[in-house]
Amino acid sequence: MSFLFGKRKSPAELLRENKRMLDRSIRDIERERQGLQTQEKKLIAEIKKTAKQGQMGAVKVMAKDLIRTRHQITKFYALKSQLQGVSLRIQTLKSTQAMGEAMKGVTKAMGQMNRQMNLPALQKIMQEFERQNEKMEMVSEVMGDAIDDALEGDEEEEETEELVSQVLDEIGIDINAELLKAPSTAVTKPESTNKLPQAAEAAGNTEGGIDDDLQARLDNLRKM
């Protein structure tokens, strides 16, 4: 009667009302089924009691009543299952309608965004971004090359020192030990003028000894 007063229910409201009615019917059927199961238990107990008393006629009548009760319970199970299926379909329709409404809203929002979007301005922004990005990469590359060139000399010096030390180690020369063997350059006060020639001669002999030792080691390496 709502349409007589100019008010028309929406599909969502109709689905909600119908689902509410189905749920109420399912609860009523379940209540009736539980009542029949209680009656079934009472009939079984009464049949056993009457059978012990030997009243077989009453037992047959109650047995027929028990059969009808069980058939009715089975029908209630089937009816409840059917109503639950209908209720599930209604719930599916509600979910589908809700999804449709959501998609409708999303589509509308996307249309508004597309209309507001300025494609030429966006392309200009992207081109400017690419240009600035390329410029930044070039600057980074130039700075990296400059740093590598600045550090190249230090690296070569370190590699040279390492190579010299390695060569000396391979030929068995300890440069620190050889430096310790070298004469001290400290100048002492001469005690007499007669000792100067002797000191010079001793220094000459010492230097000659170091040179001879180095030459002997190099000759041995060549023989190997």
pLDDT at 197: 47
Using CA atoms, how far apart are residues 94 and 11, in angstroms rounded to an integer?
9
pLDDT at 27: 92
pLDDT at 33: 92
pLDDT at 18: 84
- At 127-140, the pLDDT tens digits run 888 888 888 888 88
- At 37-86, the pLDDT tens digits run 999 999 889 888 888 888 888 888 888 888 999 999 999 999 999 988 88
pLDDT at 186: 45
Q: Consecutive 10-residue runs of the chain (224 residues): their mean pLDDT?
A: 61 81 90 92 89 86 89 92 88 83 85 79 86 86 76 61 67 56 50 46 50 67 57
Q: What is the total residue count of the chain?
A: 224
Q: Is the distance from CB of 93 to CB of 15 less than 8 angstroms?
A: yes
- Tell me the whole-structure pTM to 2 decimals: 0.43
pLDDT at 76: 92
